[in-house]
Amino acid sequence: MKLEEGWDDGFEEASRRAAHETLAAARSRSLVDIGYTVVDSPIGRLLLASTRAGLVRLEYLDGDPDETLEELAGTLSPRVLEDPERTEPARRQLDAYFEGRVRTFRTPLDWSLTHEGFSRRVLEATAAIPFGSVTTYRDVATRAGSPRAARAAGNALHDNPIPIVVPCHRVVPSGGGVGKYGGQEWRKEYLLRLEGALHGAG
């Protein structure tokens, strides 16, 4: 048993070293277009993916990350590699946000996964909603230039590739309640309570 345990430890160390060397070689040749990492948070595991331009994807992981990684490879670039260093600025700000030390995200964003036009304008308007505030789908649609397109604004927010940082949780129905949320409503409620924007927040 001791021999087997020692062999396992040596194999794991060799695997870590090989992964580190592969990543270092890829970086030196500028072969990493998208670096990603998976982190824990109070609302579950999160996959963070960044390009050289900035954070391009934040995914609530309720399962395996492979589907999201395949989507990134097919949509942006096949050169996707686990690279915690690339996502470190966003990860640190998320940690500080959940700890109540950060109210405004300053990590650069890459909008490559957002369609140009109305959807992009909706998300840019959403990114400007202050911490602790909420607004309505109609108001976001108005800011994006189409006051009657509240439903379309809701669709754009549902497809938001960078939730939390682009705070679609701060957009709620004009009739009350928190409304639907691509990351499940309990997460939306948690984020609004964290920011003191939901009645009953502690």
Q: Which CATH class name applies to 12-98?
A: alpha beta
User: What is the Cα 103 distance to its own chain's centre?
Assistant: 16
Percent of the chain surpassing pLDDT 70: 83
Query: Residue 59 phi/psi, 5° resolution?
Result: -120, 130
Where does the chain have alpha helices with state H? 2-28, 66-75, 84-98, 118-127, 137-143, 150-158, 185-194
The pLDDT, as a whole number, for residue 198 is 82
Structural fold of domain 118-194:
Arc Repressor Mutant, subunit A (1.10.10)
Same fold, 12-98 and 118-194: no
Those residues of the chain that have pLDDT short of 50 are 14-15, 18-19, 21-29, 200-202
pTM (two decimals)? 0.82
- Angle (CA) 70-51-80 rounded to 5° is 30
List the catalytic residues.
168
Where does 110-194 have alpha helices with state H? 118-127, 137-143, 150-158, 185-194
pLDDT tens by residue, 84-124: 999 999 999 999 999 999 999 999 999 999 988 999 999 99
Ranges of each domain in the chain: 12-98, 118-194
